[in-house]
Structure 1
Amino acid sequence: MNDTELPLADDAAHEAADSQLDRDDRLKPAFVDAVLAAVEDGDVETAHDLVAPLHPADIADLFELTPEDRRRELAAAIGDLVDADVFAELNDYVREDLIDALDARQVADIASELDTDDAVAIIEDLDADDQREVLRAMEPDDRAAIEEALSYPEESAGRLMQRDLVAVPEHWTVGDVLDYLRGDEELATDFWEIFVVDPAHRPVGTCALSWILRTPRRIAIGDVMKREQTLIPVDMDQEEVALRFQKYALISAAVTDASGRLVGMITVDDVVHIIQEEAGEDTLLLSGAGDGDINEPVVESYKARVRWLVANLFTALVASSIIAAFEGTIQRMVALATLMPIVAGVGGNAGTQTLAVTVRAMATNQLTQSNTARAIWREIRVALLNGGTIAAIIGVGVSVVFANGALGAVIAAAMMTNIVIAGLAGVAVPVALERMRADPAVASSIFVTMTTDSIGFLAFLGLATAAGLTG
């Protein structure tokens, strides 16, 4: 290496570092404020220049960071930068807000530039009248693909799949496939494998591009393809699709209709979004927080949350009625009022732990009808160990602090009882809800909390009354 190459290498390193710093500064408060200030001042050129280097996903984030009443103004200022790729990355609520500002032709043009699954995600959220207007403005082929996708159930493989794929007959040689890939300008631009089909267009195998590139032209594609493949029925729920991708480490998979014909494919980049959505959805449903999206309109958030708060209010009244039934016992020994929340609180935490594990196991198909009994027995054993440990600690502690061995024994027994019941409820409630075809993530926490509060108060106050504890 000669001496003149070193400064060039250093310059390249500095440029790379500066570029990284620029990327790190994007979307920080100062950057967002600068863009919005330029828009407010009418300096469209500056706003455009600031946003132009951003990746479409970063531009989408910029809109989500922009106050709702200024998003349309920003879209008008940066103009052509708000393209189809940006719309594909936008949050649902933000996207709806921007689409409302566009006419049917503009929405149709954006949808036509996207993969079918991304176009469907935009159009399916429109009102029925707006959908028809947008579809009428699209080219016949694009419209037919969108209408077919919309005919499938929501959150199904049919809505998720792409129609643009590469399929070849089994009798072709590798050379035929290479010539086809290089010569057809209408082919999909992004794919990792090709699908091999029989004369009825049913998939019989797949072949990775790397295999094709490394195989002599004369070899038949049927001799190098992999016949074992994971096929996705068009009506399969997207959560089950995601589980199959995780289980079998898929990059893409063929989607088939009721007759077994190849109608589309699903790629791993779409499944990543589904995994993220489903995981977040289950977490939010456990708390009754609705979509949990900070861009969700206030009224919709209110409607999603208030009904579960009302339900929680009534379940809390059950626990309160139990306390009221032991009013005389509490009056005779005020220490009971001090210790009651401990029994209920620890039991509630134990129930929440079990509930979280159970709902996750159900979501990932680890918990099924075949192993439900074993799962319940496992959680009971865990609860017995936890209950014994916590009961011993609280029993000794209360006996020492209050100088009352009987009170220590009572709270230890109550704590043991409540933690065991909490473990049982944490697994039994979501399983029961699923058997009743209800979403176990939606209401489980309310019923588990009601159970642990009620049993905690009943066990503690009931045992205290039976033991004749007095101040």
Structure 2
Amino acid sequence: MSETELPAHDIAESELDADDRLKPEFVSAVLDAVEADDVETVRALVEPLHPADLADLFELVPGEQRPALASAVADRLDGDVLAEMNDWVRDALIESLEPHQVADLAAELDTDDAVAIIEDLDETDQRAVLRALDPDDRAAIEEALSYPEESAGRLMQRELIAVPEHWSVGDVLDFLRGSESLATDFWEIFVVDPAHRPVGTCQLSWILRSPRSVSVSDVMKREQTLIPVDMDQEEVALRFQKYALISAAVVDGSGRLVGVITVDDIVHIIQEEAGEDALLLSGAGEGDINQPVLESYRTRVRWLVTNLFTALVASTIIALFEDTIARMVALATLMPIVAGVGGNAGTQTMAVTVRALATNQLTQSNTVRSILREIQVALMNGATIALLIGIGVSLVFGNPWLGAVIGAAMMTNILIAGLAGVLVPLTLERFGADPAVASSVFVTMTTDSMGFLAFLGLATVAGLTG
């Protein structure tokens, strides 16, 4: 009997490897059962899986087999699984479901997770799903959809606990125990004034450890971090990181409490934003392996076309020195070294700058100091690399002047690369553009062009080809 033909219970006991990833043989066993239309075996195999692992299973199987798998495990395909699923996989799967099925799933979720499922549907399907929801859920989701994408309003949950400040600890405990419709997962209780504006917070541990007769206003913490409903989710994540928050109140324009954001939502945002910036620097778009091929093509090809035109700038500079290169072939051999090392130096500085901008480490207050710092780093790097390449070229080609020229060109290009790596992202950011999107294109063009110009220009001036 092969591994994929093992009894269901044997495979279920070892579905994960040492890194908590689903084993290939387990995935194969599930696919074999799906292809054989053996629903009972499929259910037995996936029964012990955590919702996050079941979501991973959907991502690992081919797209054309996901609807059949979803049909076989319909009883396990709940909101918790969809909340853990890759966005592209989830969107494709939801498109295959009926509106009432999507509505049933959305009703099980917190508002933020329900919005994530519904917001990407086309307008017709979105309306159909909203009609299938009960009035309270529909009103909450419609309100969330009215806020800008990637804002605190889309990210927040409406399910929270808020009490008036004149209550006692005993009143709060009786309220929590006597109300069945309250939020089930929460870390702190928000204290509000008569206008429903937050005036403080109480951790559950404080409530549980305080006598019943003590007033809530005496145990609450009045200092709190309030999140405007229209704040960008990246800025929200930075606040959670800076102030080590577990949860935070979200307020509307009038200061009224409208929702809460919790740290489990922020972990996903931090991961998404960090990965997004890295991928944007490379021009790879979202870089998701589940993204449709045509969308990946459209995202990547436009930056490759842009790179093609910027590369023509460097090519034009080389053409200006065609006669110089023809008289000394060694220049053609050494040109890529100058441009390549300069490009790497620029990429290093650019990555540091983009990250500093994303995390609010680099602001108008320390811009000049940061630029001077990068110039110092570039000068030290340039001196080191210039010395090494100058000595190496002098020994290999037996031409000290050639070594001096390439050393000077390398020093010049690394200094320019350092300046470009910090100034290009800063300039884009000042004009309201995302510095992670286009920085690499302009930095690469600058280092290549200036590297060739410095090397070939110095070689011509020095008369090496005469």
TM norm. shorter chain > 0.5: yes
- In 2, the alpha carbon distance for the partners of 1:19 and 1:302 equals 38
Match of 2:99?
Answer: 104
Aligned to 2:66: 71
Deviations 1:297-340 (A, max 9, x none): 01100100000000000000110111111011111111111100
Match of 1:166 among 136, 161, 168: 161
Equivalent AA in structure 2 for residue 110 of structure 1:
L
Which ranges of structure 2 fall in alignment gaps of 5 or more residues?
1-10
Q: CA deviation at 1:22?
A: 5.2
- Specify the alignment match of 1:36 in structure 2: 31
Give the C-alpha shift of residue 19 in structure 1: 9.7
Over residues 25-56 of structure 1, what are the superposed CA-to-partner deviations in whole Å (9 max), with x where a residue is unaligned?
76111000000101111211011010011011
SS in 1 for 2:73: helix
Q: 1:220 maps to which residue?
A: 215
Distance 1:440 1:340 in 2: 29
Alignment of 1:346-425 (within 5 A): 346-425=341-420
What SS does the corresponding residue of 2:260 show, helix, strand or coil?
strand
Which residue is 2:322 aligned to? Answer: 327
| Residue of 265, 274, 291 corresponding to 2:269 | 274
Q: Displacement of 1:88 after TM fit?
A: 1.0
State the partner residue of 1:196: 191
Say whether the 8 Å CA contact 2:16–2:23 is kept in structure 1: no
Q: Which runs of 5+ in 1 are unaligned?
A: 1-17
Residue 205 (structure 1) aligned with residue 200 (structure 2): yes
Q: Give the Cα separation in 2 of the matches to 1:48 and 1:315.
A: 55
Q: Is the 8 A contact 2:15 2:23 kept in 1?
A: no
| Worse-superposed segment, 363-372 or 453-462 | 363-372
Determine which of 222, 229, 235 is the counterpart of 2:224. 229
**Alpha-carbon distance between aligned partners in 2 of 1:78 and 1:241, rounded to the nearest angstrom:** 36
Q: Give SS of 2:74's match.
A: helix
Report the secondary structure of 2:342's partner residue: helix
Counterpart check, 1:24 vs 2:8: no
409, 420, 423: which one pairs with 1:428? 423
Mapped partners of 1:453, 1:193: distance in 2? 55
CA distance in 1, matches of 2:161, 2:17: 38
Name 2:55's counterpart in structure 1: 60
**C-alpha distance in 2 between matches for 1:358 and 1:149:** 34
Letter in 2 for 1:225: M
Cross-structure match for 1:6? none
Deviations 1:436-468 (A, max 9, x none): 111110010010000000000000000000000
Cα displacement (A) at 1:411 = 0.3
Residue type of the partner of 1:85?
D
User: Is the counterpart of residue 297 in structure 1 residue 297 in structure 2?
Assistant: no
Name the counterpart of 1:243.
Answer: 238
1:145 paired to 2:140: yes
CA distance in 2, matches of 1:43, 1:109: 26
**DSSP 3-state at the match of 2:452:** helix
Please provide the CA RMSD for this pair: 1.2
Q: How many equivalent residue pairs?
A: 454
Conserved? CA contact 2:12–2:48, under 8 Å: no
Residue 118 of structure 2 contacts residue 126 of structure 2 at CA under 8 Å; is this kept in 1? yes
SS at match of 2:418: helix
The aligned counterpart of 2:436 is 441
Structure 2 CA distance for aligned equivalents of residues 468 and 45 of structure 1 = 82
Q: CA deviation at 1:20?
A: 8.4
Indicate the residue corresponding to 2:260 in structure 1: 265
Q: Tell me the SS of whatever aligns to 1:191.
A: coil
Query: Is the contact made by 2:12 and 2:46 (CA closer than 8 Å) also made in structure 1?
Result: no
How far apart, in 1, do the equivalents of 2:226 and 2:304 lie?
A: 43
Residue in 2 that maps onto 1:184: 179
Residue 123 in 1 paired to residue 108 in 2? no
1:134: which partner in 2? 129
TM-score (ref. length: structure 2): 0.96
CA deviation after TM superposition for structure 1 residue 24, in Å: 3.1
- Structure 1 position 96, deviation (Å): 1.2
Instruction: Give the equivalent residue in structure 1 for 2:309.
Output: 314
Cα–Cα, structure 1 residues 80 and 19, in superposed 2: closer, same or farther, change >3 Å?
Answer: closer
SS in 1 for 2:365: helix
Stretch of structure 1 that moved more, 126-135 or 240-249? 126-135
**What's the TM-score, normalizing by structure 1?**
0.95
**Counterpart for residue 113 of structure 1:** 108
1:206 is paired with a residue of what secondary structure? Answer: strand
Tell me the distance in 2 between the aligned counterparts of 1:79 and 1:455: 60
How many angstroms does 1:470 deviate by?
2.4
- The residue that corresponds to 1:5 in the other structure is none
- The 4+ residue runs of structure 1 with deviation greater than 6 A are none
Partner of residue 459, structure 1: 454
